[in-house]
Structure 1
Amino acid sequence: MSAQHPVFPQVDPDDVSSNRSDNPSFGEVVQSRMSRRSALLGGTAAAAAFLVGPGAANGAAAPAAADARHGGGRPGHGRRLLGFEPVSTSDADTFVVPEGYEAQVIIPWGTPIRPEGPAWREDGGNTADEQAEQVGMNHDGMHFFPLGHGREGSRRGLLVLNHEYVDQELLFPDGAADMTGEKVRKALAAHGVSVVEIERRRDGSWERVDSRYARRVTGDTPVAFSGPVGADHPALRAAGRPRGTLNNCSHGVTPWGTYLACEENWNNYFGTTDTGWEPDATQERYGVSAEGGGFDWHLADSRFDLAANPNEINRFGWIVEIDPKRPDAEPVKRTALGRVKHEGCTVTESRGRVVAYTGDDQDGDYIYKFVGKGNWRMQRARGRSPLDHGTLYVASFQDDGSGEWLPLTHGEGPLTRENGWADQADVLLRTREAADAVGATKMDRPEWITVNPRNNDVYCTLTNGSGWDSAVNPRKPNPYGHIVRWTEKHRDHTSTTFEWDLFVLAGDPAYDERVDLDESNIFGSPDGVWFDDDGRLWIQTDISNGSQHLAEKGYDNIGNNQMLAADPETGEIRRFLTGPRGCEITGATATPDQRTLFVNVQHPGESTDHWGETTAENPRAVSNWPDFRPNGRPRSATVAITRVDGGKIGA
């Protein structure tokens, strides 16, 4: 097939940008930089070197300059980071790992969080109250918190995981039709976060055990607000006290041992039938509409009616801190980190200060960084949260490979009273508009962010783009996405300037000759990304079910969603696993000894253009993973991956 640009896959409403600002797009920045580098360094060879960063994706040697910049030789020079044979692409309804590895399904949707809890009903017939005592639906970001030290900490721990959204055709026995109050309650109970204790048995298997820490945080759990936007702020005054967290995608972990759940597509849960209601400028910028995202909760619960309860929606779009070892503590929404569609919140530290990176997952939106004020240990010793005091920045990428963090601080630049900004709380409630005002760079759906533990480089996945000059590369359109990397000045995460490049261009070389991938590592739509302690970069994909396997979308050769491992120094990438039909591969965490890797399979069996439509009458139309019961239905689940020889994962 000749090289060409495939038709951009229309995935979901988040691929439709709400950014009407005149800010420069990353596509414009990249094209300008490539043109400049090509002129200075000698044409297409320089451009190609720029695209793949420090090393070609097929494992070619890195340029010397790039090697020097990105950390030199790794510990144990000569040791291969990637020690497994890549698996093939797949269109099968199964979960595949490399030879020498084993995969065990644990805590699927509906598992009681305590042994005495309500059992899963394969017909979808569990009540709302029962669902509130079971593991939620559509697992996403997660973290393993060890319980104990040394070997004990790798044998027993708390698995804390997000539940991003619900598939209402699978959640209810009769599907999404005829929304009722009980259905809304059950859907809310299937959202949020699960805290489950797991233990590795002598035979090597993992299982859920009884625990005083076991807990569900749902869309109805009482929550607190902290930071510049307090619970008494006029914009948060709505019917009833603040409750719940919704659409938790990726996550973060603080140095003091708490979990951060991140509210992404919260706008989809709200709507109204009031024909006189119209979105204001801020609501329009956040994609709020009378129709909502198809959940129709507003038809049965006025809490989600934009006209009847207009401020309830302002209680969502935040980073939510949860202490997994304090089951009675209220989750806290940390407003200093801004209100956007948070994909995740990756926390690190520099010079004793906490730093948190987050992407706003919508086409044409931005990458943010929060830098805490002062030493975080001293803040906590004084009874203050390090996440309540600091500066929120948004990224600006320049055409010469440099970048700048622009402060979103009231009274600075355009964010003044004269320009309509009342105070810092106003800036945070309208974070997107504030970022528009300071001139941030439009990005191509910023997703997960991770930090290389070896050299502090920061990586962000850009999953795909609409092709309207917001791509993170010179492709237009950009159905495949890629990964951008930057180095903060002096490798200090509190710095306000950085240098950037592109780590890998995803896609299919049959459709785009610039892609340097082959059958061992071809992939598209990178989403989850995570570094293990040895410095392997794990990449997870979320190809839309409107694009998977379709030639007209350029995805006929890539197969089901997958997870790959990369050596960031050489650029070598290998496919590590593939998932069942209709799923997304997401969430990655490991035991401290790196001998168990936990991965989530989200929405297996979701309707796809290729495999068909999942309905209440036929819930198994696309997938029946993982139970394969004749009268069952597909279930999101966590998978525990180990090596047969007991060694480290990936090594």
Structure 2
Amino acid sequence: MSHHPIEDSNRSDKRVFWDILDASLSRRSVLKGGAAAAITSASGLSLLGLSACSSGSSNGPGEIPEPRLGFSAVAKSLEDRVVLPAGYSASVLYALGDPITEGLAEYPNDGSDDGNWDRRAGDHHDAMAFYPLPKGSQNSDRGVLVINHEALTDQYLHENGPTDLGEGVRPLAEVIKEQFAHGVGVIEVARSSSGWAVDRSSDLNRRWHVNSPMEISGPARGSSLMTTPLSPTGIDTFGTLNDCGHGVTPWGTYLAGEENWFAYFTLDGAGDDTPQLARYGISSGATGFNYRGWDTPAGAANLQRRFNASRTGASAANDFRNEPHHFGYAVEIDPYNPDATPKKRTAIGRCSHEGVWFAPAVAGEPLVAYTGDDSRNEYIFKFVSDTAWDPADATLGLEGGDKYLDTGTLYAARFNGDGTGDWLPLTPDNPLLEGMSAAEIVIYSRIAADRAGATKMDRPEWGGVNPRNGEVYFALTNSSSGSSGRGQGGAGSQPRDAANPRSYTGGPDGSLDTAAGNVNGHVIRWRENGVQDAVAFVWDVYAFGARANYPAAINLSGLDDSNDFSAPDGLWFDKRGILWLQTDDGAYTDTTNCMMLAATPGTVGDGGSFNVPGADGELVTTFIGDAPGANLRRFLVGVRGCEITGVEATPDYRTLFVNVQHPGERGDLTDYQSSWPYAADATLAGTIGSRRPRTATIAITRDDGGEIAI
């Protein structure tokens, strides 16, 4: 998500890249996808011995037919409605405040509070997954939809916006309401002749929120670094916070990724600062962008006070100095069992998680999953289980996580300048991590990756694995990556390098400026070297975001008006092999609202290497996939002020669920930027401009009942 300030705490001085491409590589001029002749190509990736598919994938190109997109691209839009291709329709399924149990009044959307927010839809719907009912079936008419509730639009949630009682003190009732509006929603949904609806009578409906009991699992479990007054043994914990991306396990559970959790904490004074907290963006004198004073109400219990991490007691048993260590994980939830206590799977590491995306599970082989750390100059990680996959475990529930996610090897990615990459083990036996225990490595994953020498990236967001060939894609939303180093002046926080090669001003002209950054972001991809748990890989960039009218030195993928985009964020492969790409942007919203695109994305190595110029004339060599052209096209444009995030399909691909998050975010109670979803409802046309907008999940269908997108 890019609608908030971006945390930037990587002050490590480790060198970013090794093995820079040898200058003696033969080069030839090319003109690919609109690239200018000034950008020259070196040898193609085929000279590195790359093949078209991964032998380690369980699904090769011969097993899944290549899909073909069957819709016309929609135009960019600044309207306050969801724009879809001709022949498609959408309806609102689940909006902020909707009851998820019977007997509750409909949400009045005026900020009033009935005290039942643990039984209502939370705010800022984000990643989601559909689980068919009955369990183990492929039913597309009934299932459980699990949805992250990432954050809040405060001014719309409360009657008059959030209240300050003086000196930063918040009302306890508002604090609890806000805490309940975060977390994860589990709802049963069904399709009938009149469309999709939430079954409010279902026993499966459940809200997991900031105060819900949970468990610590994996290497951090029982560590002294997890001791708090609420968890004296370091095993129990409470709540999940700022859940953004997600994962779907091979055994049928859900993983919620805790992203900007650090921004909810405060410290009283400089004596509370530690390098470990600072490395995660928590320092005294500068509250985070999501800090809401949850620790301040009179009469607040420990569940609220824990968001002050100051050292006020004699030890960690007497204050909440360790409470930040309880957040930043992948949280496993069983959608089929509302009574099962969720578990925080610490072996996957602690960071600003986007989500956890699994490679295809192969019988007898370890499970492999990928995650990204969404902050400037942070890292991409891979987890490889110690236990080999047994297909008989496909319905285990949380026992599957106990078996496969609590022990394994965590790696951080290094993207080399020659188009290769290495997975660096974050283990106690790595000499570069000498002195770090297994618990310390997973609690301080950023510090471990710093020491191991991983590559600093332009904000790793969502990832996905192509089911056709096992190749892995990650959205790098944007970043400041000018030529001036961190702390050396200028706005740049990272030098340009092979995997993050652009720096330019942005705006209508897109002029080059080394003090600006990678304004529009890009999508990187890689193929593991033979098997998914390999320790080496090859990579290129699938597509660079840019305005269609940008010069070729910036619009490196030759995007046009049918597929230009900025700030890729949500990224998801459906099982047919279609890539869905969603945006959360502030750099292109003068021209269009945020959007979702669909693609059939090709393979690593289908393009070549390019020299990308900077404002100072210096060239940086990178590797770019074949220009996507008509294989990438805009499917949806959202409403004013929104982010498009979260996407899921029913098994028959005849319904696509998508979230419209924080519509009207830049408005206020006197001037709504958006009135969606009311403005989209003809029966409420008279209220346009006078109703608060609401985050909501929509269900998209084809009018002829066919499969979405093809």
- Residue 69 of structure 1: which of 52, 55, 65 is its match? 52
Residue of structure 1 in register with 2:675 after alignment = 624
Q: CA deviation at 1:632?
A: 2.9
Which deviates the most, 638-647 or 510-519? 510-519
Residue of structure 2 in register with 1:387 after alignment = 405
Structure 1 pair 281–158 and aligned structure 2 pair: CA distance change class (3 A): same
Whether 1:23 and 2:6 are equivalent positions in the alignment is: no
Residue of structure 2 in register with 1:281 after alignment = 275
Deviation per CA, 1:109-135: give whole Å up to 9, x if none. 1111123234312111124x3111101
In the TM superposition, 1:171-250 aligns within 5 A as 171-178=157-164, 179-230=170-221, 232-241=222-231, 242-250=237-245
Whether 1:270 and 2:271 are equivalent positions in the alignment is: no
Which deviates the most, 180-189 or 64-73? 64-73
Deviation per CA, 1:15-53: give whole Å up to 9, x if none. x52111223447x98xx54x859x4231455898999xx
Structure 1 pair 10–153 and aligned structure 2 pair: CA distance change class (3 A): closer
Distance 2:49 2:550 in 1: 28
Residue of structure 1 in register with 2:520 after alignment = 480
Distance 2:104 2:283 in 1: 38
Q: CA deviation at 1:67?
A: 10
Which residue identity does 2:207 align to in structure 1?
R
Structure 1 pair 149–543 and aligned structure 2 pair: CA distance change class (3 A): same
Distance 1:299 1:581 in 2: 34
Counterpart contact for 1:118–1:130, Cα < 8 Å: no
Counterpart contact for 1:247–1:264, Cα < 8 Å: yes
In the TM superposition, 1:264-413 aligns within 5 A as 264-272=259-267, 274-290=268-284, 291-293=287-289, 294-300=291-297, 301-307=304-310, 308=312, 309-348=320-359, 349-350=361-362, 351-377=364-390, 384-413=402-431
Distance 1:282 1:442 in 2: 18
Structure 2 residue matching 1:385: 3-state secondary structure: helix
In the TM superposition, 1:71-86 aligns within 5 A as 81-86=68-73
Deviation per CA, 1:476-498: give whole Å up to 9, x if none. 121000100100011x2111111
Distance 1:355 1:195 in 2: 26
Whether 1:41 and 2:31 are equivalent positions in the alignment is: no
Residue of structure 1 in register with 2:79 after alignment = 92
Which deviates the most, 286-295 or 220-229? 286-295
Counterpart contact for 2:2–2:584, Cα < 8 Å: no
Structure 1 residue matching 2:176: 3-state secondary structure: helix
Whether 1:121 and 2:108 are equivalent positions in the alignment is: yes
Deviation per CA, 1:77-98: give whole Å up to 9, x if none. 7x76110011000001111110
Counterpart contact for 2:2–2:585, Cα < 8 Å: no
Deviation per CA, 1:231-256: give whole Å up to 9, x if none. x3222222324210000000001010
Which residue identity does 1:259 align to in structure 2?
Y
Distance 2:340 2:450 in 1: 36
In the TM superposition, 1:114-193 aligns within 5 A as 114-127=101-114, 129-148=115-134, 153-178=139-164, 179-193=170-184
Residue of structure 1 in register with 2:593 after alignment = 560
Distance 1:441 1:50 in 2: 28
Counterpart contact for 2:125–2:659, Cα < 8 Å: yes
Structure 1 pair 599–646 and aligned structure 2 pair: CA distance change class (3 A): same
Distance 2:308 2:135 in 1: 49
Distance 2:186 2:23 in 1: 51
Deviation per CA, 1:196-223: give whole Å up to 9, x if none. 0000002444444421110000000000
Distance 2:99 2:8 in 1: 39
Identity across aligned pairs (percent)?
A: 42
Distance 2:654 2:277 in 1: 46
Q: CA deviation at 1:296?
A: 2.5
Which residue identity does 1:329 align to in structure 2?
A
Counterpart contact for 2:67–2:576, Cα < 8 Å: no
Q: CA deviation at 1:625?
A: 0.5
Residue of structure 2 in register with 1:552 after alignment = none
In the TM superposition, 1:511-522 aligns within 5 A as 511-514=550-553, 515=555, 516-522=558-564
Distance 1:525 1:459 in 2: 15
Residue of structure 2 in register with 1:54 after alignment = none
Structure 1 pair 317–391 and aligned structure 2 pair: CA distance change class (3 A): same
Deviation per CA, 1:42-74: give whole Å up to 9, x if none. 1455898999xxxxxxxxxx9999995258977
Counterpart contact for 2:16–2:453, Cα < 8 Å: no
Structure 1 residue matching 2:26: 3-state secondary structure: helix
Please state which structure has a larger fraction of its residues in helix.
1
Counterpart contact for 1:120–1:126, Cα < 8 Å: no
Distance 2:67 2:256 in 1: 34
Distance 1:132 1:64 in 2: 57
RMSD across aligned C-alpha pairs, in angstroms? 2.9
> What is the number of residues matched between the two proteins?
601
Structure 1 pair 488–109 and aligned structure 2 pair: CA distance change class (3 A): same
Structure 1 pair 82–378 and aligned structure 2 pair: CA distance change class (3 A): closer
**Relative contact order, higher structure (CA 8 A, sep 6+):** 1
Question: When the two structures are superposed, what TM-score results if normalisation uses the length of structure 1?
Answer: 0.87
Counterpart contact for 1:107–1:208, Cα < 8 Å: no
Whether 1:447 and 2:498 are equivalent positions in the alignment is: no
Deviation per CA, 1:553-609: give whole Å up to 9, x if none. xxx44x1000001111273210000000010001011000111111111111101xx
Question: When the two structures are superposed, what TM-score results if normalisation uses the length of structure 2?
Answer: 0.80
Deviation per CA, 1:435-479: give whole Å up to 9, x if none. 000100110000111000000010000000102326633211210
Which residue identity does 1:304 align to in structure 2?
F
Structure 1 residue matching 2:458: 3-state secondary structure: coil
Which deviates the most, 432-441 or 509-518? 509-518
Residue of structure 1 in register with 2:248 after alignment = 253
Q: CA deviation at 1:411?
A: 2.5
Residue of structure 2 in register with 1:526 after alignment = 568
Distance 2:16 2:31 in 1: 24
Structure 1 residue matching 2:177: 3-state secondary structure: helix
Which deviates the most, 358-367 or 381-390? 381-390
Distance 1:182 1:601 in 2: 27
Q: CA deviation at 1:292?
A: 2.4
Q: CA deviation at 1:264?
A: 0.5
Structure 1 pair 430–121 and aligned structure 2 pair: CA distance change class (3 A): same
Counterpart contact for 1:591–1:597, Cα < 8 Å: yes
Which residue identity does 2:295 align to in structure 1?
H
Counterpart contact for 1:408–1:415, Cα < 8 Å: yes
Deviation per CA, 1:262-294: give whole Å up to 9, x if none. 10111111114x234442101111101332224
Residue of structure 1 in register with 2:618 after alignment = none
Structure 2 residue matching 1:447: 3-state secondary structure: strand
Structure 2 residue matching 1:225: 3-state secondary structure: strand
Structure 2 residue matching 1:513: 3-state secondary structure: coil
Distance 2:63 2:632 in 1: 19
Structure 1 pair 523–305 and aligned structure 2 pair: CA distance change class (3 A): same
Counterpart contact for 1:118–1:134, Cα < 8 Å: no
Distance 1:66 1:111 in 2: 54
Structure 1 residue matching 2:262: 3-state secondary structure: helix
Which residue identity does 2:415 align to in structure 1?
F
Where does the alignment leave 5 or more consecutive residues of structure 1 unmatched? 1-8, 52-61, 550-555, 608-613
Residue of structure 1 in register with 2:441 after alignment = 427
Distance 1:390 1:116 in 2: 46
Where does the alignment leave 5 or more consecutive residues of structure 2 unmatched? 38-44, 55-59, 165-169, 232-236, 298-303, 313-319, 482-493, 504-516, 603-625
Counterpart contact for 2:189–2:196, Cα < 8 Å: no
Residue of structure 2 in register with 1:574 after alignment = 633
